[in-house]
C-alpha cells in the first residue's frame, strides 16, 4: 500500500512529518504494510498536510490531516482509500483548472528519486536537445516565447543566443534561486518537489550556449531546498546526468550549489554574480551585460529557477506546444503564488491571461479572515498594490505594465479591509532603505527620506505639501537609481497613494 505525504517545508511547517510517522506507527499496530513516499506539495497549501493513498482509481486525498485524526482516519479505511476523503486529487476542481507543465511532477513523484523522475517523463528534453545543434536548441527556446520568470520578462532565447555567440575559454550557467520577494515560493517548491527538472534545464542551457559549469545561488532562508538540490545533484552525477560525456554525448557539465547570506539585493543578477565571486553584493553597472561579461568576467546565462525548469518541457514537446498557451506576448504558463490573507493559498500554474480576480476569488477563495479583500500586492515588495476594482486585469506582462503594476515573479499577496495602506507604503520605503546595496544616493538616502516623509504625512504635518514632496522623491528614485531596487520602490508607494489615498490622512 503506497501512501504519499509531502516533505515540502510548508507542509512540514504544519505537521507533515509527525503525520507521516503516525501513519507508519498506526499501520504497524494493525499489521498493515505501508510504504510511505515523501513527495513535494501539490500546492494546495490550505489542505496541508495532504495525505494521498494509491487506489486502483487513482490517488485519493485526505486533508488537512491533523495528527490527532490519523488513527481515526485509518480506522475508517484510509489505507484503502475509504472513509471521508477529498476524492481523487487529480479530479479536484482546483487541480483541473490548472495547466501544469513546469510543475507537472511536483507533489506527484519522490524528489529524491532519479528513477522516479525518469519514469515520469524526465530527461526527455535533454535527450531531444542532444540530437539538435546548440543553435537549434536556442532557436527552439526563442520560438517558445519563454520570457524570464524572475521578474523582468526578458526573452530567454535571446539571452542564450548572446552567450552562444560569445567567444570565451569558459562559460557559465547561473540559476537565480534567491527568491527574496515576499509572497513568492514557487522556486522553493519546485526545488524541494522536483529538483531534477532544474538540473535538466540547466544542462540543456549549458549545451545550448557551450557552458561547462553551473551554479545555483540559493538563499539561506531555504535550508530544505538546499538539502533537496544537493542530494539531487549527487544522484544526477551517479546517473551520469552531470559530469563528463553526459548521456553518451560529448557534453561536459557540472553543477554546484552556493548558499546566499541574507541579502535581498543579491537577487539582482549582477549583485548575485558579485556574491558568487565572494564579494559584497553590490550592483554592477550595465553594460557589460552578464551574457557577455558575467561570472568572473566570462559569458554567463543568468536565469530564474522557473525559466530554466520550463525548458525541458519546451524541448520535449516542442516550442509550438508551449507557445499555444498564453496571450499576447506573454506565452506559456506561469506559476502564480497566492499568499497572505487568503483562504486557499498555494501555487496555481496556468496559462497567462487568467485574471487577477479569478486567481484571488475563484481559486484562492477570498480572504482567510472572511472579511472583504481590500488590496493585493502583485510581484513582490517592489510591485504595485491593486484594489478590487482592478480584478479584471489579465495576468500578462504588458497589461500589468499598462496599469502601472507588474507581474514580477507571480506572487500575489492578499490583504483584507483591516490593512493600513500608508503603513504598507512606509514599509516599502523602509525595506528599500534596509536592503539597498548602498551604491547610489536616490535609493540609499531617498528611501530613508521616504520613510520620514510618510511619517509626517501620517502625523498630519503639512499633509498636502509632504505628499507633493513624496511624489518628487518617487520621481527621483525612479529616474535616478541604478537598478530596480531603488527604481521600483516607488511602485508600491505610488499605487498605495493612488488607489488608497484615504489612508494617507492623519
Partner 1 sequence: MTTDVTNPAAVRTARVREIASDLRELRGPLIPILHAVQEDLGHVDQVDVAVIADVLNLSVAEVHGVVTFYKDFRREPGGRTTLRICQAEACQAVGAEALGDHVKRRTGLSFGKTSVDGKLTLDEVFCLGNCALGPAVQVNGKLHGKVTPARLDAILGEAR
Ligand X SMILES: Cc1cc2nc3c(=O)[nH]c(=O)nc-3n(C[C@H](O)[C@H](O)[C@H](O)COP(=O)(O)O)c2cc1C
Point out which residues bind partner 1 (CB under 8 A): 9-10, 12-14, 45-46, 48, 179-185, 188-189, 213, 215, 220-225, 256, 258-264, 275-281, 296, 337-342, 345-346, 368-369, 377, 381, 411, 413-416, 419, 424, 427, 431, 435
Contact of residue 149 among ligand SF4, partner 1, ligand X, none (CB under 5-8 Å per partner type): ligand X
Taking the chain, what is the end-to-end CA distance rounded to the nearest angstrom?
Answer: 63
Contact of residue 436 among ligand X, ligand SF4, partner 1, none (CB under 5-8 Å per partner type): ligand SF4
Residue 88 burial class via C-beta count within 10 angstroms: exposed 0-12, middle 13-18, buried 19 and up = middle
Query: Between residues 52 and 268, which has the closer beta carbon with respect to ligand SF4?
Result: 268
Instruction: Choose the binding region for ligand X from 49-57, 207-215, 267-275, 390-398 (rule: CB under 6 A).
Output: 267-275
CB of 456 to partner 1, least distance (A): 21
Task: Kindly tell me the sign of the dihedral angle through the C-alpha atoms of 433, 273, 203, 160.
Answer: positive
Contact of residue 427 among ligand X, ligand SF4, partner 1, none (CB under 5-8 Å per partner type): partner 1
Cα dihedral 436→185→391→383 (10° resolution): 10
Q: State how far the alpha carbon of 88 is from the alpha carbons of 35, 55, 300, in Å.
A: 19, 9, 44
Q: Give the one residue of 45, 50, 485, 491 binding ligand X; rule: CB under 6 A.
A: 485
Sheet of strand 35-39, all strands in order from the earlier edge strand to the far edge: 35-39, 2-6, 51-55, 58-62, 87-88
| Residues 291-320 close enough to bind ligand X by CB under 6 A | 302-304, 307
CB of 55 to partner 1, least distance (A): 28
| Contacts to ligand SF4 by CB under 6 A | 265, 283, 436-440, 443-444, 481-483, 485-486
Query: Between residues 158 and 506, which has the closer beta carbon with respect to ligand X?
Result: 158
Cis? peptide before 388, omega within 30° of 0: no
Q: In the chain, helix, strand, coil percent, each to 5?
A: 45, 15, 35
Is residue 148 at the binding interface for ligand X, with CB under 6 A as the rule? Answer: yes
Give the position of cell 527568491.
179
CB of 34 to partner 1, least distance (A): 25
Query: Between residues 209 and 295, which has the closer beta carbon with respect to partner 1?
Result: 295
Residue 134 burial class via C-beta count within 10 angstroms: exposed 0-12, middle 13-18, buried 19 and up = middle
Q: Is 342 helix (H, G, I), strand (E, B) or coil?
A: coil
Contact of residue 278 among partner 1, ligand X, ligand SF4, none (CB under 5-8 Å per partner type): partner 1
Contact 415, 495 (CB under 8 A): no
Write out the residues near ligand X by the rule CB under 6 A.
148-152, 154, 176, 178-180, 265, 267-269, 302-304, 307, 483-485
Amino acid at each position: 500500500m503506497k501512501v504519499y505525504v509531502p516533505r515540502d517545508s510548508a507542509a512540514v511547517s504544519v505537521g507533515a512529518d509527525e503525520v507521516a510517522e503516525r501513519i507508519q506507527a498506526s499501520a504497524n499496530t494493525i499489521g498493515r504494510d505501508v510504504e510511505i513516499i515523501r513527495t513535494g506539495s501539490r500546492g494546495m497549501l490550505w489542505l496541508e498536510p495532504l495525505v494521498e493513498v494509491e487506489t486502483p482509481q487513482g490517488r485519493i486525498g485526505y486533508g488537512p490531516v491533523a495528527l490527532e485524526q490519523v488513527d481515526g482516519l485509518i480506522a475508517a479505511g484510509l489505507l484503502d482509500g475509504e472513509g471521508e476523503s477529498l476524492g481523487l486529487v487529480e479530479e479536484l476542481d482546483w487541480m483541473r483548472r490548472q495547466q501544469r507543465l513546469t510543475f507537472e511532477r511536483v507533489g506527484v513523484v519522490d524528489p529524491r528519486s532519479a528513477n522516479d523522475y525518469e519514469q515520469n517523463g524526465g530527461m526527455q528534453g535533454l535527450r531531444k536537445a542532444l540530437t539538435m545543434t546548440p543553435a537549434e536548441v536556442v532557436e527552439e527556446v526563442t520560438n517558445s516565447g519563454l520570457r524570464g520568470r524572475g521578474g523582468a520578462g526578458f526573452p530567454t532565447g535571446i539571452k542564450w543566443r548572446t552567450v552562444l555567440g560569445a567567444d570565451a575559454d569558459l562559460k557559465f550557467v547561473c540559476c537565480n534561486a534567491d527568491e527574496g520577494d515576499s509572497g513568492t515560493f514557487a522556486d522553493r517548491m519546485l526545488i524541494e518537489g522536483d529538483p531534477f527538472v532544474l538540473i535538466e534545464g540547466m544542462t540543456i542551457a549549458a549545451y545550448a550556449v557551450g557552458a561547462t559549469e553551473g551554479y545555483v545561488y540559493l538563499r539561506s532562508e531555504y535550508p530544505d531546498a538546499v538539502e533537496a538540490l544537493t542530494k539531487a545533484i549527487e544522484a544526477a552525477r551517479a546517473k551520469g546526468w552531470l559530469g563528463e560525456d553526459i548521456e553518451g554525448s560529448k557534453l561536459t557539465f557540472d553543477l554546484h550549489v552556493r548558499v546566499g547570506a541574507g541579502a535581498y539585493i543579491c537577487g539582482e543578477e549582477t549583485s548575485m554574480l558579485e556574491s558568487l565571486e565572494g564579494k559584497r553584493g553590490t550592483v554592477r553597472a550595465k553594460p557589460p551585460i552578464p551574457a557577455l561579461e558575467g561570472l568572473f568576467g566570462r559569458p554567463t546565462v543568468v536565469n530564474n529557477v522557473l525559466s530554466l525548469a520550463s525548458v525541458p518541457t519546451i524541448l520535449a514537446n516542442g516550442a509550438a506546444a508551449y507557445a499555444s498557451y498564453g496571450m499576447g506576448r506573454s506565452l506559456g504558463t506561469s506559476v502564480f503564488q497566492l499568499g497572505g490573507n487568503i483562504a486557499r493559498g498555494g501555487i496555481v500554474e496556468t496559462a497567462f491571461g487568467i485574471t487577477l480576480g479569478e486567481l484571488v476569488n475563484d481559486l484562492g477563495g477570498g480572504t482567510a479572515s472572511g472579511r472583504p479583500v481590500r488590496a493585493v500586492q502583485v510581484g513582490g515588495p517592489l510591485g504595485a498594490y491593486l484594489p478590487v476594482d482592478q480584478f479584471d486585469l489579465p495576468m500578462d506582462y504588458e497589461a500589468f505594465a499598462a496599469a502601472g503594476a507588474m507581474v514580477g515573479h507571480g506572487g500575489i499577496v492578499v490583504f483584507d479591509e483591516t490593512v493600513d495602506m500608508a503603513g504598507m507604503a512606509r514599509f516599502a520605503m523602509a525595506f528599500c532603505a534596509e536592503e539597498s546595496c548602498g551604491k547610489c544616493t536616490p535609493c540609499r538616502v531617498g528611501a530613508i527620506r521616504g520613510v520620514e516623509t510618510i511619517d509626517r504625512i501620517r502625523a498630519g504635518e503639512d499633509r498636502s505639501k509632504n505628499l507633493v514632496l513624496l511624489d518628487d522623491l518617487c520621481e527621483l528614485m525612479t529616474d535616478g537609481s541604478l537598478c530596480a531596487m531603488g527604481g521600483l520602490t516607488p511602485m508600491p508607494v505610488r499605487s498605495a497613494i493612488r488607489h488608497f489615498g484615504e489612508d494617507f490622512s492623519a
